[in-house]
Structure 1
């Protein structure tokens, strides 16, 4: 994709479906929010207009919601390359020097990290901040246990039920499962095939927000995020499970706002 491709078609609207609903000034800091495996931009839609001076921009990967008919990504590199196109094109549409930050939850944390490294490789602008939750540090991200991409349908449903965050009525509806499980398994394939490559730390502050009862994230492996920034690192633990940052959104917003004000 080129900048012209993005700005002259509906591609931008696909990737950033709520772009026109931020309620923020066009020059406000852009916070690109990347969802968890199987998640959609709608997970962050309720965050819009909740962060003073911030334009919350939920990102919509293919294979879900308004992009249900599009094939989801199964590997990190092409996903990150296309995301970098989108972010750089979107920033180019705003005022020169517009600040931006990245928020990623679970798989979105790893994607956000690699996105910033890709933007750096292209000589793009540095982000004001990287926020991560629901994920161990990238160099410690090897998956333990059976791969989700190899699980049977009942096994995937059982895994999602234990993880939380997916309404039971969705898990009990075969028709809905037909729609959502391909994206879930493709997204987990992105994570399970991810191979960390050594590069210098980002010159971007990082804030990590782990949850104490997260069944998929070993709390001791979250501290490793500090190795990936040459700037400030902050750690804000949450009580609760994998989706605690959404269930306690007011607290999440507080940490984001405080970090960006610095």
Structure 2
């Protein structure tokens, strides 16, 4: 039986109020599988005039009672409605960018393509991290839908990012596993369909020890844009971009700087040992 999801109000997708004094580019931040909007809450106030807008998928935190999506083609149209409503609340479009980590990178990519299909205003930049480029070979893991609870927990341990106490508490597992399984349903059922590359600059972030996406796999995002492509590599695992948020913020600043002027105050220059590759 197919579950029909009723589109949620735009406000439910964006649970946090806009930060005071952040009247610049809006940065819509899409979480990893099983993740929530709070993954980006610590970014508030760290990007100068950029308004960090964490996206809340259903089935967690403020949307705990909402049914999570399990397919990309059901998720993306509703998310596009919310983003377009937020960027143009009074008919005048405000510049925005999209950041997605892991599954959020694929969702962000398909979100931009959906907005392009509708003839809507595309973002000034797309940031992707911890995710192989669309169309890359499968990572070989079996579908999560067929995994036992113990196998899912083992996968979460391998990926990292989930505290051990959460993985050993039966009550917590009953709360976090359903959205995780649903999100992996989005990923496992996703079929990349080639289209014309985006006319949107892309910055891709990889990590040296990421078990989910190798550096070469992440670099493949260069084929998805006709504009500037930049790749950066951090030292660490799958969640390096969140664990080293200050480094990630510098890369965001570097990419978006032209939209507001000089480098944001308080952000140190990128360290020369941090690897970067730029393609035009």
TM > 0.5 between the two?
yes
Query: How many residues end up aligned between the 2 structures?
Result: 253
Per the alignment, residue 60 of structure 1 pairs with 56
Deviation of residue 21 (structure 1)?
A: 4.0
TM-score by length of 2: 0.87
Give the Cα–Cα distance (whole angstroms) in 1 for the partners of residues 14 and 201 of structure 2: 24
User: Is 1:252 matched up with 2:240?
Assistant: no
Deviation of residue 78 (structure 1)?
A: 1.1
Q: Greater shift after overlay, 114-123 or 158-167?
A: 158-167
Q: Give 2:99's match in structure 1, choosing from 97, 103, 114.
A: 103
- Indicate the structure with greater helix content: 1
Deviation of residue 141 (structure 1)?
A: 5.6
Asked whether the 8 Å contact 2:10–2:81 carries over to 1, the reply is no
Give the Cα–Cα distance (whole angstroms) in 1 for the partners of residues 75 and 213 of structure 2: 23
User: Is 1:23 matched up with 2:6?
Assistant: no
Give the Cα–Cα distance (whole angstroms) in 2 for the partners of residues 247 and 48 of structure 1: 15
User: Is 1:46 matched up with 2:42?
Assistant: yes
Deviation of residue 15 (structure 1)?
A: 0.6
Asked whether the 8 Å contact 1:22–1:57 carries over to 2, the reply is no
Per the alignment, residue 73 of structure 1 pairs with 69
1:200-244: CA deviations, max 9, x gaps? 000000000001100111222111100000000000101000000
Give the ranges of 4+ consecutive aligned residues of structure 1 lying more than 4 Å apart after TM superposition. none
Q: RMSD between aligned alpha carbons? A: 1.6
Asked whether the 8 Å contact 1:37–1:188 carries over to 2, the reply is yes
Give the Cα–Cα distance (whole angstroms) in 2 for the partners of residues 141 and 61 of structure 1: 27
Q: Give 1:145's match in structure 2, choosing from 141, 153, 157.
A: 141
Runs of at least 5 residues in structure 1 that lack an aligned partner in the other structure: none
Asked whether the 8 Å contact 1:52–1:257 carries over to 2, the reply is no
Give the Cα–Cα distance (whole angstroms) in 2 for the partners of residues 22 and 142 of structure 1: 39
Per the alignment, residue 235 of structure 2 pairs with 239
- Give the secondary-structure state (helix, strand or coil) at the position aligned to 2:36: coil
Per the alignment, residue 180 of structure 2 pairs with 184
- Give the secondary-structure state (helix, strand or coil) at the position aligned to 1:85: helix
Runs of at least 5 residues in structure 2 that lack an aligned partner in the other structure: 1-5, 259-280
Per the alignment, residue 203 of structure 1 pairs with 199
Counterpart mapping for 1:115-154 below 5 A? 115-140=111-136, 142-154=138-150
Give the Cα–Cα distance (whole angstroms) in 1 for the partners of residues 83 and 141 of structure 2: 34
Give the Cα–Cα distance (whole angstroms) in 1 for the partners of residues 215 and 222 of structure 2: 14
- Give the secondary-structure state (helix, strand or coil) at the position aligned to 1:42: helix
Deviation of residue 144 (structure 1)?
A: 1.3
Give the Cα–Cα distance (whole angstroms) in 1 for the partners of residues 40 and 90 of structure 2: 21
User: Is 1:227 matched up with 2:223?
Assistant: yes
Going from structure 1 to structure 2, the CA distance change for 1:120 and 1:260 (only over 3 Å counts) comes to same
TM-score by length of 1: 0.93
Q: Give 2:12's match in structure 1, choosing from 14, 23, 26.
A: 14
Asked whether the 8 Å contact 1:142–1:192 carries over to 2, the reply is no
